[in-house]
Structure 1
Amino acid sequence: MKKAFAFLSTVVLTASLLVHPTSGKAATTFSDVSMYKEEIGYLTDQKIINGYPDGTFKPDQPIKRLQAVQMILREMGISDTNAPNPNFKDVKPGDYGYGDIATAVDLGIISGKQDGTFEPWGTLTRAQMAKILVNAYKLRGIYPYDFKDITPDSWAFEYISPLAANNITTGYGDGTFRPNLPLSRAHFSVFMARLLNSDFKPENEMLADSLLEGLFDLKIQDTDIHPSEPIIYVLDSIENQVVALNYETYEMTAVPLNLPAERMTYRNGKIYVTLLKGQHSSYWWAKDQQGAVAIIDANQMKVEKQFNIDLDPFDIAADGKGHIFVTSGSGQHTSMHSYDEATGEKLGEMGLYERSYMQMHPSLNRIYTIDTNVSPRDMDVFQFDENGKFISTYDSPYHGDYNLATDLTISPDGKYIFNSIGNIFRATMLKDSDMSYVGKLDKAYKTIAFDLEYGEFYTSNDREYITAYDYTTFKPKYQLETYGKPAHMFYQDNKLLILSTMELEGSGVQYVGLETIEFETE
């Protein structure tokens, strides 16, 4: 069985965490505790926080800065690591807690104050605690809703936001977080219990099933993904560039292009981009057409070569064996060309209608195309040999029998062709059954991703949710809420990666949001 588990990746699971019981029931009780009994009992049972000899917990007493550090290290199972001296003015070697403070600094959990002190017995504010927890447990995520008393330019914003995104805090009923309020022992217990055991997390209707991890000022024209590394490639039409976005580190590397780009594809360490030398026109005939193809080294993110072609380029595909395939964007009844990527030499051509989108079959021996500006819309297949030369072509066995949108996606196992109108067709390479109708989804979609290991695929249709389907029956199974409207989706390493269009609350500015949904399996 597989189910969504939105925030699994946001906490570094330590050995001590793994042996915690899953139940929130507490065996420990205190005479002065009426609120948060289970959270406090949970932490005291785990020996993370202690009561007093008189049987009280003193829930309203402020947590001291040193105490918070010691309790986090205790939970992580980390003792004095003989870390280097952090050189705080008020903490010297031999002082009580010196080793814990030095260890926490060495691990990047704390950094002290601007005046060079740590103030170990000072009270800890709610904002300071947010920073410590985010640093200690590597929390990620952006909370897309505002706390009234926290602005994006506040030093604490980058720590409070992931704390809220992971449902560790919901703030107060009046919409504030109260960052400068001293943190009580009770509220520390609530924070820690929610972080360590999701059973303690409250109901929060504002939270989606996804984790919003980043916001980017991009306008996506086309995308692709590296098959094994955490890299999504984006063709950005704002700056006319190809961007490599690392979805683990959020780092972006851009390659500017010297001509307007139309489409791109990734194959075997290279990114192939069609470049325009004119506007697409049904009356730009073949004898006058021109364009170019750029080949980018995806490891170095540099243009490896660029060559001119005698075609107004539209879509592009590559077989990873040194051959590139390009459809024409002009000339009505025009053609697809194949090229040798090393020399730029044209290897062959086949007729098709202008502005046809294409997708390479996983077998890397044929390409499926779909018309975009004729009616009724149709699909074709083009077979080629190991030298990149076309062998044959034929069109679908129907003509106008089924509605089609201007796209096609081939499932990773190569069995089916999905069209966003919701219709599904076979991809068999047997002329009598190739592109034959299989069935229809319950609704249209804008983007689709597949997890065939667990027999699921996911679609979204410009709404703030994703529908999961059974790959065998094509029946819907469940829905997942998102913050933005998914525009492009990928599935990789048990994680659904979503590039969505969204606006932050009250901003009026549209961003590309990177949202993720991680799954657990049983």
Structure 2
Amino acid sequence: MKRILLTFLVLAFAMISCKKDDKDPVEKGDLNVIVTINGYQLSAGAEIYTNPASKQGVTDEFGSVLLTGLDAGSYEVYASLENVGSGKSVVKIKADELAEIRINIIAGIYVGLAPSINIILPGVPAEFMQGEAITFSAVIEDDKTPHAEIDVKWESNLDGILNSDSPDENGNVSFSTASLSRGLHKITLTATDSEGYTSTATVNVSTLAPGAVTLLQPVKNEGTVILTWTEYQQSDFLKYEVYRSQSNYSGENFELISTLTDKNQTTFTDLTPPLEFQVRYYVRVTNTDDNSRNSNIEVVDSPSGYIFNFQASDMLKHPTQPYIYLVNQGGQKLIKFDYINMQVVTETTLQGNIGYCDIGDNGFGVEIYAPSSDGWIYVYSADDLRQTTSISTGLSTKSVVINGLGHVIASVLPSPWWEQPVRTYMRSTGINIDGNGDFDGDRLRMIPGKNEIISISTSVSPIDMEYFKLTDNGMFEMHQDDPYHGDYPLNPNIFRISPSGEYSITSNSGAVYYANSSMEYKGQLQHGTLKFSDFAFSDDGSVIYAATSNRKSIQIGYYPSLIRDNEILTRGFPVFILRDGNKIISLSKSNENAVNTGIEIISLP
């Protein structure tokens, strides 16, 4: 009986053992994940994790990572790239097989199960002196795990774990330390939620930098910017460098504008700040180990003076007071500007498309005469821009000048065009006095000190020049066409007559002609590859100040030699220039294609 019972127990144990050994093992497979940005650019450094939780990994330089030994089944797979975005896909893992999926990261989109990390401090570049207190802070969020239950670890690749405090109720975590060793630290912040999902974020911190200097509030002074900063306190000083943003307050494009090697010299004046609405400055200090540190950045509004968001089609100067008048064709405005105090005094709305204007006293005080395409010449007081009168020409009017004798001379567009395209009017009554001319729409210029006019055509090719002489009662006494008919350069938009009344100068090549009935061509102001945009003169016309459209400069030349031997560098590319005593008033562009313009006041040598 005992033998039978023993046999039975052995058989039963064998059956149990066989049943246990026959149990199937857990089926596992592998997964290769390829991560891209924008659908094609391989993404290195992306964190990969799954739902349900399994393995985590980080993509290599080829944008891929292999997760091995995953339990067979279906997974959501997430990819997250710090400061870029995230993406996800789904996959089914089969036993003993390698699956592969592609995940495209979408910039600015963050989805997934792992905690999100946003490092706030230190800011970049994180440059400190050894022993200086450094504050670290971040915001950590998780969809499911309460903030207090998220495990946090700040770690240096040189000094090990720095802090492991949990976030507060709002997800904020921070600490300060002054004990980082000297060197270049890679600080990694790791956050792990209650389900085991982990995220990391990094910031590079240097403790090799010099001590800090602070840039104080810059001071604007007559088109310059005065910078002052605190003195460097350590003994390893090498140099200060002053940097300025190259364009309007955007981006990170800075240029070095000065280097100072005297530790005690803590001020610098930027004599040529750019014509921008805003610029930024900072000071970099470098020590004898050739390590550098930047100061704070200071922003300066309109550093070089007043900036307009348009390019004027005409600029006039008050004959005795420090005002200029700008025609804003697109904005339909006439603007009075005080160039001493750099401020707009007043403005008025214009009517129609305004042509070439004139300013002066024609017996009714200083007024501005604005010809319009609507068939009127509008007259404004130079004091307050109040409209004082208007003169009807009945035709689109291109240009107007006054002779100071109560006469208004206008260039109109009649049909047919040869029907007296240049006409004279009484300022007091608006009555048409006389007419003459060969071409409609000429640009008119009065010859200073004379009742005579030089004009350049705008409507015919080749461009032509004309001469007119008036009687004291506004009648045309003489009219003469130039003998060249386009043989030499002419440009109605670049056209001035010297204060002496001896010569005119025109075009971007500086072509000079006698300002009389002969209109004899005298040559060109030396220019090489330079292109002129406008001209001003000394009182007697012997010195020519030539603005350049392809160089930030005003060239200095002489009449009658037409030799150019000096230049004045400007902040911008001059569009219009006018002289006031020993200064040039320039309406300039910050670059050749800019729309914004600014006023520069330039001292003459």
TM-score by length of 2: 0.50
In 2, distance between residues paired with 1:140 and 1:371?
A: 38
Task: Specify which structure has the higher proportion of helix.
Answer: 1
Q: Which has the higher contact order (CA 8 A, sep 6+)?
A: 1
Q: Deviations over 1:272-319 (max 9, x none)?
A: 001222xxxxxxxxxxxxx00111010122111123222221111011
Aligned to 1:437: 521
Distance in 1 of aligned mates of 2:482 and 2:272: 50
Task: Tell me whether 1:263 sits opposite 2:356 in the alignment.
Answer: yes
Please state if 1:414 is matched with 2:501. Answer: yes
The answer to whether the Cα contact below 8 Å between 1:147 and 1:171 also exists between their aligned partners in 2 is no
Q: Identify which of 305, 321, 324 aligns with 1:213.
A: 305
Structure 1 residues 79-94: aligned runs within 5 Å = none
Counterpart pick for 1:344 among 414, 421, 430: 430
Aligned-partner Cα distance in 2 for 1:381–1:217: 37
1:178 aligns with 2:296: yes
Identify the residue that residue 564 of structure 2 maps to in structure 1. Answer: 476
Unaligned runs of 5+ in 2: 1-212, 227-242, 251-266, 274-280, 286-291
Q: State the partner residue of 1:405.
A: 491
- Counterpart in 2 of 1:273? 370
| 1:175, distance to aligned residue in structure 2 (A) | 9.6
Alignment partner of 1:365 is 2:365 = no
- Identify if the C-alpha distance between structure 1 residues 166 and 461 changes in structure 2 by more than 3 Å, giving closer, same or farther: closer
Alpha-carbon shift at residue 416 of structure 1 (Å) = 0.5
Residue 401 to residue 243, structure 1, CA distance change in 2 (3 Å): same
Structure 1: gaps (5+ residues): 1-123, 153-161, 181-210, 278-290
Query: 1:127 is paired with a residue of what secondary structure?
Result: coil
CA distance in 2, matches of 1:299, 1:492: 19
CA change 1:469–1:388 in 2 (3 A) is same
Q: What amino acid sits opposite 2:216 in the alignment?
A: A
Instruction: Give the CA deviation at 1:219.
Output: 2.7
Output the aligned Cα RMSD. 3.2
Q: Distance in 2 between matches of 1:362 and 1:178?
A: 55
| Cα distance in 2 for residues equivalent to 1:178 and 1:237 | 41
Residue of structure 2 in register with 1:235 after alignment: 327
Higher strand share: 2
Residue 361 and residue 142 in structure 1: after superposition, are their counterparts in 2 closer, same or farther (change >3 A)?
farther
Measure the CA separation in 1 of the matches of 2:339 and 2:313: 18
- Contact 1:235–1:241 (Cα < 8 Å) also in 2: yes
Alignment partner for residue 323 of structure 1, among 391, 407, 430? Answer: 407
The alpha carbon displacement at 1:436 in A equals 0.9
Distance 2:575 2:526 in 1: 19
Amino acid at match of 2:296: R
Matches within 5 A, 1:438-453: 438-443=522-527, 444-452=531-539
Identity %: 23
Which whole-Å CA distance do the structure 1 matches of 2:423 and 2:436 have between them? Answer: 7
> Counterpart of 2:597?
512
Change (3 A) 1:515 1:170: farther
In 1, are the aligned partners of 2:456 and 2:465 still within 8 Å (CA)?
yes
Report whether the alignment pairs 1:457 with 2:555. no
**Aligned position for 1:385:** 471
Q: Name which of 274, 283, 296 aligns with 2:380.
A: 296
Q: Which letter does structure 2 place at the counterpart of 1:261?
A: I
**Cα distance, 1:248–1:351 mapped onto 2, change above 3 Å:** same
Matched letter for residue 398 of structure 2: F
Letter of the structure 2 residue corresponding to residue 396 of structure 1: D
Q: How many angstroms apart in 2 are the aligned matches of 1:126 and 1:478?
A: 37
Q: Structure 1 pair 519/401, CA: closer, same or farther in 2 (3 Å)?
A: closer
Q: What amino acid is the match of 2:403?
A: D
Q: What amino acid does structure 1 have at the position aligned with 2:589? A: T
Report if the CA contact (8 A) 1:164-1:170 is conserved: no
CA separation of 1:167/1:423 partners in 2, compared to 1, >3 Å: closer, same or farther?
A: closer
Kept in 2, the 8 Å contact 1:358–1:368? The answer is yes
Picking from 371, 390, 393, the partner of 1:309 is 393
- Give me the TM-score of the superposition, normalised by structure 1: 0.57
3-state secondary structure, aligned to 1:233: strand
Query: Within 2, Cα distance between the matches of 1:442 and 1:516?
Result: 25
Secondary structure at 1:261 match in 2 = coil
Within 2, Cα distance between the matches of 1:270 and 1:417?
24
SS of the residue 1:425 aligns to: strand
Distance 1:509 1:356 in 2: 28
- Please say which structure displays the higher CA radius of gyration: 2
Aligned length in residues: 331
Residue 141 in 1 paired to residue 220 in 2? no
Q: Which amino acid aligns with 1:424?
A: V
Distance (whole Å) between structure 1 residues aligned to residue 293 and residue 595 of structure 2 = 24
Contact 2:315–2:324 (CA under 8 A) maintained in structure 1: yes
